[in-house]
Structure 1
């Protein structure tokens, strides 16, 4: 029996984030915050190329090992399923769009920086509830997952903590949109 690199986008994403966390552990958190955190409102500089990079790269940086393991437990569980269903190129597109949306909205509306793949996690959680969707149907699992996960995030948003529920909610919304749109887009591509 041999090992298979079965989900290249998911595994490469996990590997890159882990290497960045190892470097952060050795060099200190400042290096990670400098390269892998989306700027907060008022901190974004339109003339700084690094700030544009950070709008997406923030999903690779984490505040510590617990943060990384918490996110990648879900990503390594859900990513291969989604990668098999939607293909690697589609999954990486959805991940980049989710990172960009959460990064831009954080930069526009929140004063603190954003770091971590939680938005990707919530995108994957909501998308996973669509794995058996048929045209014209809304899966009951999607409704239950939306109520449980996003409802919890709206409640947690009222508490003072260091967690960006905003990124979770936006990740969930992008996952729901991708979940609804993917079958429609796939049907149009197949019929062409």
Structure 2
């Protein structure tokens, strides 16, 4: 999750992390965000190894997607599903599913989808407890 394929890859991920990080850190705290990053990296790595054992992952895109989905839970109320979450899931995760099926490139759409799933589960659980 620390290494990237080049400057463009790094700047793309770092931009999202720098945009979303402060807002998420204020709401959830540094320790929780680090835990989410580690969980996302671990789950993504395990799933990648299970389904694509000869493919190495590079970059923090899974964590970026976890943060994007997690940010959509900022206005969460118990018993409701935020509209922002539904839109983010439809747009970002839907795009990754579509590209994973139709586009052949070196981008791990699986890591993006798994990161989004981790972000949605942790976002729901963290806000449910509040």
TM-score (norm 2): 0.96
Structure-2 residue corresponding to 1:157: 100
Q: Aligned ranges for residues 23-172 of structure 1 at < 5 Å? A: 59-110=1-52, 111-158=54-101, 159-172=103-116
Bigger RCO of structures 1 and 2 (CA < 8 A, at least 6 apart):
2
Q: Which runs of 4+ in 1 moved over 4 A?
A: none
Q: Gaps (5+ residues) in structure 1?
A: 1-58, 188-192
After superposition, give the CA deviation of every residue in 1:19-70 in whole Å (9 maximum; x if it has no partner): xxxxxxxxxxxxxxxxxxxxxxxxxxxxxxxxxxxxxxxx100000000001
8 Å Cα contact 2:73/2:127 also seen in 1: no
Q: Gaps (5+ residues) in structure 2?
A: none
**Rounded Cα–Cα distance in structure 2 between residues aligned with 1:88 and 1:135:** 24
Backbone CA RMSD of aligned residues = 0.8
Structure-2 residue corresponding to 1:32: none
| SS of residue matched to 1:116 | coil
**Rounded Cα–Cα distance in structure 2 between residues aligned with 1:161 and 1:155:** 13
Alpha-carbon distance, 1:134 to partner: 1.1
| SS of residue matched to 1:157 | helix
Alpha-carbon distance, 1:184 to partner: 2.2
**Rounded Cα–Cα distance in structure 2 between residues aligned with 1:168 and 1:134:** 26
Alpha-carbon distance, 1:172 to partner: 0.2
**Rounded Cα–Cα distance in structure 2 between residues aligned with 1:115 and 1:104:** 14
**Rounded Cα–Cα distance in structure 1 between residues aligned with 2:85 and 2:127:** 15
| SS of residue matched to 1:66 | helix
- The structure having more radius of gyration, on CA atoms, is 1
**Rounded Cα–Cα distance in structure 1 between residues aligned with 2:49 and 2:7:** 25
